[in-house]
Amino acid sequence: MADDPLALFDAWYAEAKAAEVNDPDAMALATASANGAPSVRMVLLKGHGPDGFIFYTNADSRKGQELAANGQASLLFHWKALRRQVRVEGTVEEVDPAEADVYFATRSRDSQLGAWASEQSRPLDRRETFEKRYEEVKQRFEGQDVPRPERWTGFRVRPTRIEFWTDRPHRLHERRLFVRDNGGWTEGLLYP
């Protein structure tokens, strides 16, 4: 068995990018409020490596607030074409502002403007209100680069557990679990 779950993730992710028709970087992000109420939604993986798995959002959004209140999260990648899943659990930290700036600059201009126009997760009286805000922001930044809004940032999930699930006939699935232990990883199997 492999002893590096991050190298195994790299291999599986490369296969997913070749096999999945839509969004191989899509992952379910589960967070919880300070009192433990769970919430889950889909986000996109925007970076990964030895330090963890990165996604970006508005820090004032529901997920941002939950991450501030309870600095733990879980991710789930489901690659249906490959009949595989990867579950990641860990602690969460904000990325460095310079790192968020670099990623924000790679987004399409419309996505950058949308980050300014949206009060993500806040109540919206009607769609026209948001569209008007978008047009106002578009005019505000016309002819210039769009800077990253201060509250728009990235989060890194530093894994403490990574499970690799492979579909097998008759629900006799294979589950490999890696747990961070004193800076390294221990590996074991789980019953399906």
Q: Is the dihedral of CA 130, 132, 137, 142 positive or negative?
A: positive
Active site residue 171: yes
Alpha carbons 178 and 27: distance in angstroms, whole number: 19
Q: Supply 122's token pair.
A: 């806040």
Alpha carbons 141 and 149: distance in angstroms, whole number: 12
Alpha carbons 115 and 40: distance in angstroms, whole number: 21
**Amino acid identity of 163?**
E
Contact 152, 100 (CB under 8 A): yes
Contact 31, 37 (CB under 8 A): no
CA 126, chain centre distance (Å): 28
- Close Cβ partners of 167 (under 8 Å, ≥ 6 residues apart): 83, 84, 173
| Residue in 140, 158, 171, 180 annotated catalytic | 171
Alpha carbons 7 and 103: distance in angstroms, whole number: 23
- Catalytic amino acids? 171
